[in-house]
Amino acid sequence: MDHTEVKKAIIRSQHCQRNWDLQKQIPKDDIDLIIHSVTNCPSKQNISFYKVHAITNRQVIENIHDNTSGFLNYETGKNETNSQVLANLVLAFEVEDYMSRHTTDTVHRNDEMWAYDDGKLTAAQKKSLEKDAHMAIGIAAGYANLISSMLNYGTGCCACFDADEVATVVGAKNPIKLLMGIGIKDETRPRREHHTKPEFVFPTKSKQEIQVNFIN
């Protein structure tokens, strides 16, 4: 494995893509690999905390985009939509109510399952489950981000959206927690230029240094 190329992919994965080449399509094999990464990554006790909606339908993607917001345009005083979700492929992560369907599992995987069955799920246990679900989605998004970058696709995560409306658009029964756009970069434009409003350029921030304490 070429460590230099992997490091380049990691750095590319930091850069949020805001515009896309929609004249091209992501090959099915690449989509399958990305989906494989988000459905086989680690989660606490390998519990399926989330469901993934993999969307290539343009009308659905545009409807999702219409329900995003995020950056204040200081010149107009208006919030601009998040055009990273106008990508060739959008992943929508839905929190699964795995507790209500765990009876198909042959093993109670944690104390929360026992408490759920006994009708004694405490507020602390519920909060713990929510934390585990959010962590699982974060890990999955990280996998998708890196794999997509290694395949030379642009990516962009979005958490600023009307969760109820987006859930309705994608047909989700439970809350959508995160959107990720994955696609072919428009090489003719700066990556921070809004896809449909080129006059607006999203700001950028450099990566802050993370301290590492080696204990040998």
Helix (H, G, I), strand (E, B) or coil at 6: helix
- Give the residue extent of every domain in the chain: 3-183
Lateral strand order in the sheet of 154-158:
50-55, 89-95, 176-183, 154-158
Question: pLDDT tens digits, residue range 167-198?
Answer: 999 999 998 999 999 999 999 999 999 999 99
pLDDT at 138 exceeding the cut of 80: yes
Could you report the per-residue pLDDT of 104-120, keeping only the tens digit for each?
A: 554 556 667 666 666 77
% of the chain at pLDDT higher than 90: 69
Supply the CATH classification number for the domain 3-183: 3.40.109.10
- Under the banding of pLDDT at 50, 70 and 90, the label for residue 18 is very high
User: Residue 166 corresponds to which amino acid?
Assistant: V
Residue with tokens 């696609």: 183
Q: Is the pTM of this model over 0.95?
A: no
pLDDT at 15 exceeding the cut of 80: yes
